[in-house]
A and B are shown apart, each in its own frame.
Chain A
Amino acid sequence: MKIVIIGASAAGISAAKTIKVAEPDTQIVVISKEDSIHSRCMLHKYLGHERDAKGISFVHENFFAENNITWLKNTTVVDLDTDKKFVRTNDNQAIYFDKLLIATGASYFIPPIPGLREAKNVYGFRDLKDAQLLDSECKTAKNAVVIGAGLVGMDAAVALLERGLKVSVIEMMNGIMGLQLDEKSAEAYQQLFEEHGAEFLLSDKVTSVDIDEAGKGRTIHLASGKSVCADVIVIAAGVRPSFDFVEKSGIATKNAILVGDDLQTNIKGIYAAGDVIGISGIWPNAMKQGKIAAINMLGEKLRYEDRYALKNTTNFYGLATLSLGNINPKLKESFDVLIREDRNNYQKVVMKNGIILGVIMQGNINSTGFWQYLIKNKIDVSGIDKDVFDLSYADFYKVDSISGEYLYAI
């Protein structure tokens, strides 16, 4: 059997690995627009000069050769024929397949703000190529402006600060990393970033960008009337799934490629996984989707059930935070919001009727993995007679007598 995988990030590589372990004789072709494999979660380490391109790879150096996988790098897919079962590449090759996995990810989005899309010094922070372009700008630029204070924006900011630029971060919400943090935990990071030289313009948004003779965006105007000078602009205002090439193929889409629980599209034998299916934008879930799609392509019938995606960890300047679920409940009075803090820690648990809905652990995140299990499985902890902050896996301890693996006693 011949399987073609489009995309070589978390979902694509995880699928290729899974297939090679399960059925090593399967012929695999991986098509990627990049010429190196890299983890986009480590781009800040590249831009900050902590690691080189090789250092941000998440596979072994000779991954493709070792696994006997054909890798078409610097190649994009421009068309898909679902009847004759082939994809056409930008260099006009027709690559035939028995099964296809679309793992093309997502691309950053530049909001339609006057001047922003036209400016030549606006970069996303998504692929190694973006980090490379930013890297060369950093050689001369002094003032950097980051638009969007989500995780990607803060990753970019930390690297730009590391390179000695003056960094201003513009954010519409009133705190940084608004999806992952509450006011208190966001303030702790904001303070750390400010100590390292960053400036924040919160509850504000870009209204226009003035462009100079060279085509570069130089002055950024904000709704508040303020303005910021820029030599280089990083846009971190969200991403959109990338699937242009399926447009005429008959594959069902709705802002993302639509898949069933088996991660198969509406066309038999064609699967999709990762950011392109728009279910969740985080690495662990893309890996798991790639794995499940791969197993199903080999003829099994696994369902993608572990869909929980409201989860993240952050680690900036040595301050670690785990955040899960609904941490900023809108109607506070209808939830139990418990807080425990000391000099080095801020912990918050949001619950209702004994079910934990959200958790923030900032500072010490030791052994906190069990919280996600409690939240996503809606486990009632009201019967456990102890302070909720003292819960641990020990309260649910169970061992499989044959394999010795841990289970949950619930």
Chain B
Amino acid sequence: MKRIIIDREKCDGCLNCNVACISAHEEGSNFYTVNLGSVDSETRNFIKFDAKTGYTPIFCRHCDEPECVLSCMSGAMEKDPVTGHVKYDESKCAACYMCVMNCPFGVLKPDNKTRTKVIKCDFCEEKQDGPSCVKACPKQAIEVKEVSR
């Protein structure tokens, strides 16, 4: 399967990945028009800042054994047997947030606006040329690679 491989050393916290993610999930928007102040603007990836450790990219791993899928009581989270990616179906989600609790890496969060869904990386599956965050990273700190599973 394809996974976004992270090189923490290369990240310099520019947050272009955040902007690209928000833009990719906002209809009709691009880097220049994206409204970062909107409550709808949610990034699915995060960069943690820390004086000691520097910048830490926190990106959904689409885990081989996804805890979010195992904890989902509505069937909204599913691992796609073909792509290996963990898909999230908003219409099924009951917003119990068991997945938020069970992701060992703290990747998942409720949406800010309604608290009725989960913000989750979809690997930009509708885009032909792969995840928007990867394309936006000027440091190649994140790259899509094929990994065995």
Rounded to whole angstroms, the CA-CA distance of A255 and B114 in the bound complex is 42
Check A369 against B81 for contact (C-beta < 8 Å). Answer: no
- Which of B4, B56, B70 has the most CB atoms of chain A within a 10 A radius of its CB? B70
B130, CB-defined interface residue at 8 Å: no
Beta-carbon contact of A404 and B147 below 8 Å = yes
Q: Is B6 an interface residue (CB 8 A)?
A: yes
Whether B48 is near chain A, meaning CB under 8 Å from some CB there, is yes
Residues of B within 8 A of A373 (CB): 104
| Among listed B16-24, B93-101, B121-129, B131-139, interface-contacting one | B93-101
Q: Return A89 CB to nearest CB of chain B, in Å.
A: 27
A96 contacts B by Cβ under 8 Å = no
Q: Quick one: which of B72, B92, B102, B107 contacts A372, CB cutoff 8 A?
A: B102
In the complex, the answer to whether B115 meets A394 with C-beta atoms within 8 Å is: no
Q: Is B34 in contact with chain A by the CB < 8 A criterion?
A: no
In the complex, what residues of B have CB within 8 A of residue A282's CB?
A: 98
Tell me if A284 is interfacial: C-beta within 8 Å of chain B.
Answer: yes
The reply to whether the CB of B61 lies closer than 8 angstroms to some CB of chain A is yes
Whether, in the assembled complex, B8 has its beta carbon less than 8 Å from a beta carbon of chain A, the answer is yes
Q: Name the residue of chain B whose CB is nearest to the CB of A45.
A: B94
B86 within 8 A of A: no
- B137 → chain A, closest Cβ, in Å? 15
Chain B CB count within 10 A is highest, among A287, A385, A386, for A287
Please encode chain B, from 29 to 65, with 1 for each CB lying within 8 Å of some chain A CB and 0 for all others: 0000000000000000010101011001010010110
- Known contacts A39-B73, A42-B74, A57-B75; decide if A399 and B63 are in contact (CB<8 Å): no
Q: Is A223 an interface residue (CB 8 A)?
A: no
Q: Is the CB of B53 within 8 A of A397?
A: yes
Q: Does B145 count as interface, using CB distance less than 8 angstroms?
A: yes
Most buried by A among B56, B64, B149: B56
Question: Does A41 make an interface contact (CB < 8 A)?
Answer: yes
CB atoms of B104 and A369 under 8 A apart = yes
Contact A315 B96 (CB under 8 A): yes
Cβ A372 vs Cβ B101 within 8 A: yes
Q: Count of B residues near A, CB < 8 Å? A: 46
Query: Which B residues touch A315, using CB under 8 A?
Result: 95-97, 110, 115
Report the contact-size class of chain A (Cβ under 8 Å from the partner).
35 or more
A287 touching B70, Cβ below 8 Å: yes
Q: Are B106 and A318 in touch, CB under 8 angstroms?
A: no
CB distance from B43 to the nearest CB of A (A): 11
On whether the beta carbons of A284 and B70 are closer than 8 Å, the reply is yes
Say if the beta carbon of A320 comes within 8 Å of chain B.
yes
Q: Are B100 and A365 in contact (CB under 8 A)?
A: yes
A353 sits at the interface (CB 8 A): no
Contact A284 B6 (CB under 8 A): no
Q: How far is the CA of A41 from the CA of B97 in the complex (A)?
A: 12
Would A402 and B147 be within 8 Å (CB), given that A59-B75, A365-B110 are in contact?
yes
A362: shortest Cβ distance to chain B, in Å? 12
Query: What separation, in Å, do the CA atoms of A394 and B73 have in the docked complex?
Result: 28
Contacts of B87 in A (CB 8 A): none
CB of A205 within 8 Å of the partner chain: no
User: Cβ of A213 < 8 Å from any Cβ of B?
Assistant: no
- Among B52, B61, B96, B106, which residue has its beta carbon within 8 angstroms of that of A367? B106
Is there a chain B Cβ closer than 8 Å to A405's Cβ? yes
A392 to B57, CA, bound (A): 12
Shortest CB-to-CB span from A219 to chain B, Å, is 35
Check A406–B105 contact: CB distance below 8 A. Answer: yes
| 12 pairs of residues in contact across A and B, judged by CB atoms under 8 Å | A39-B94, A56-B74, A60-B75, A282-B98, A288-B70, A313-B97, A315-B96, A322-B97, A386-B50, A403-B64, A403-B147, A403-B149
- Which 9 residue pairs are nearest across A and B when measured between Cβ atoms? A284-B71, A394-B48, A369-B103, A394-B56, A367-B106, A366-B109, A58-B75, A313-B97, A41-B73
Q: A366-B109, A369-B108 provided; 14 other pairs, C-beta below 8 A? A: A10-B73, A39-B73, A56-B74, A313-B101, A315-B95, A315-B110, A318-B115, A367-B106, A367-B108, A367-B109, A393-B106, A403-B3, A405-B63, A406-B105
